[in-house]
Chain A
């Protein structure tokens, strides 16, 4: 049981290049999330998904796209990378948080460190 895994762990891009970050979970979780975290700052939600085939915007979605074609995978795409997207990207997953009285919580992957030059 690997939990939440992220690929790649590190990446350096040039401005304007594109890339896809992959998140995979083996816990059969319905919900998946992408966050970014900048130095000395809190987590900011980029996009999330409440089930296979669904996606929704978080608080900082601009410049990113996502897809959830399979329940266990959640992909984050950068179409044209910018230096402002230099950050650590965390994926997380959870069971259905909307269930009444839910005490479920999120589990995070180890992160992807992205530098855009």
Chain B
């Protein structure tokens, strides 16, 4: 079983729609969580950290469910510029490196 699993998609949604992704992690010692965004042929960039109480950044909302060991990302009023691959990332307590999911590919259609 992979340490971090994501639905690879692709997700194709119309502009203005709301879209949500989930990500599950297997290590209960996971202590911090992030969503990264990767545009085609570019480097991954931090989108937002995920806090225990959930957090929002504009149209983006991240949630953490420690009991079920998953995190989610909700994008409201999606824009064409939201088209990208979204990577779920986990920091396991005591580890020296982050664990990256394979990514979920999102395409927003006009």
A interface list, Cβ under 8 A from B = 31, 33, 41-43, 45, 48, 50, 56, 58, 88, 90, 94, 97-98, 100-111
A48: B residues at CB distance < 8 A: 96-97
Closest-CB distance, B45 to chain A (whole angstroms):
7
B interface list, Cβ under 8 A from A = 31-32, 34, 41-46, 49, 87, 89, 91, 93-98, 100-103
Q: Which of B32, B41, B46 contacts A102 (CB 8 A)?
A: B32
Interchain CA distance A94-B31 in the complex, whole Å: 16
Interchain CA distance A12-B42 in the complex, whole Å: 19
Q: Are A42's CB and B103's CB within 8 A?
A: yes
Interchain CA distance A45-B96 in the complex, whole Å: 12
For A44, give the chain B residue with the smallest CB separation. Answer: B100
- What are 28 A-B contacts defined by CB distance under 8 Å? A41-B102, A42-B87, A42-B100, A42-B101, A42-B102, A48-B96, A48-B97, A56-B96, A88-B41, A90-B44, A94-B98, A97-B91, A97-B95, A97-B96, A97-B97, A98-B94, A98-B96, A101-B31, A102-B32, A103-B91, A105-B46, A105-B49, A105-B89, A105-B91, A105-B98, A108-B43, A109-B43, A111-B42
